[in-house]
Amino acid sequence: MDLGDKVAIVTGAARGIGYACAQRFAREGARVMLADIDEKAGAEAASVIRDAGGDAQFVACDVSDRLGVHNLIAATLESHERIDVLINNAAIVHSEDFLDLSETAFERVMKVNLTGAFITGQAAARAMKRQFEDDQRQGVIINMSSVNAEVAIPDQVPYVVAKGGLNQLTRVMAVALAKYGIRVNAIGPGSVSTGMLRAVNADDAGRARLMSRTPMGRVGSPDEIAGVAAFLASDDASYITGECIYADGGRLALNLTVEG
């Protein structure tokens, strides 16, 4: 997939799926703006991509802060004069029993995982709309959802709720923005080898449950999710909008309740 004429923003790009997406897009020729709250890791990630011959810059950004998002969009336009692709990947988790969960903890996750995607998506879409009106240049927004938009984990309340909301946000954005040449889709990863997954499946029992609910019998890699993102950003996906592609090793197809 040739992304050589694209300018892409990836949030939550310092590590995991976001970093893999930034690397893949750079390999495909895109100019990539990495955004993350972790300035040290984000700068190092951009440096690694540049050392490999890619075009990458890092901008510190908290997606839940509208001013920070404004600065990210402004920095991208200043450097590259346009925005072709946004990957809304930034997310956090909070593990706690439903009966013990505080409103503060719930809102903190929602602010990053759902409100942050709205704020960043809206800001990028405004720039994409201007580009479409100027020269019919089309834009792409990809929201990083999860299988947990469809299936629940009892101690991951705000994460699950946010991902469900993100799927609906994707559909609303797709319908609202189609007339401006902007396609909006989501990716719903299953169990992927990232720090976030390790944090919630740190013991042998957790890993056993993980494999029992995954028909392909393995954890996915961030690179596999990045491949889906590259497809959705490419012209090969030019008639796809408002969809969530689940890359989950067959998890959602499995009608099985896993105990524990």
Tens of pLDDT along 38-67?
999 999 999 999 999 999 999 999 999 999
Report, as an integer, the average pLDDT of 161-182.
Answer: 98
In a domain, 72, yes or no: yes
Helix (H, G, I), strand (E, B) or coil at 133: helix
The Cα–Cα gap between 251 and 202 comes to 20
The DSSP secondary-structure symbol of 193 reads S
Report, as an integer, the average pLDDT of 143-152.
Answer: 96
* CB contact at 8 A, 190 and 214: yes
Report, as an integer, the average pLDDT of 138-145.
Answer: 98
Please give the mean pLDDT across all residues of the chain. Answer: 94
Please name every residue paired with 184 in a beta bridge, in sequence order, or none if there are none: 141
Written as one string, the DSSP assignment of 136-159 is: ---EEEEEE--GGGTS--TT-HHH
The Cα–Cα gap between 214 and 170 comes to 26
In a domain, 198, yes or no: yes
In a domain, 2, yes or no: no
Residue 260 confidence class, pLDDT cut points 50, 70, 90? very low
* Res. 225: pLDDT tops 50: yes
Q: Which residue has the higher pLDDT, 254 or 40?
A: 40
* Res. 198: pLDDT tops 70: no
Q: Which of 36-40, 91-95, 174-178, 203-207 has the lowest mean pLDDT?
A: 203-207
In a domain, 258, yes or no: no
Residue 170 backbone phi and psi in degrees, to 5: -60, -45
What is the predicted pLDDT for the residue at 196? 60
Residue type, 55: D
What is the residue range of 179's domain? 7-253
The residues carrying an active-site annotation are 146, 159, 163
Q: How many residues does the chain have?
A: 260
Percentage of residues in the chain with pLDDT exceeding 90? 87
What pTM did the predictor assign? 0.94
In a domain, 259, yes or no: no
Within a 13 Å sphere around the CA of 31, how many CA atoms are in the beta-carbon half? 13
**Residue 1 tokens, joined:** 């997939």
In a domain, 157, yes or no: yes
**How many distinct structural domains can be found in the chain?**
1
CATH number at 211 reads 3.40.50.720
What is the predicted pLDDT for the residue at 2? 80
In a domain, 14, yes or no: yes
The Cα–Cα gap between 170 and 145 comes to 9
Compute the Cα dihedral for 247, 252, 257, 260 and give only its sign: positive
In a domain, 260, yes or no: no
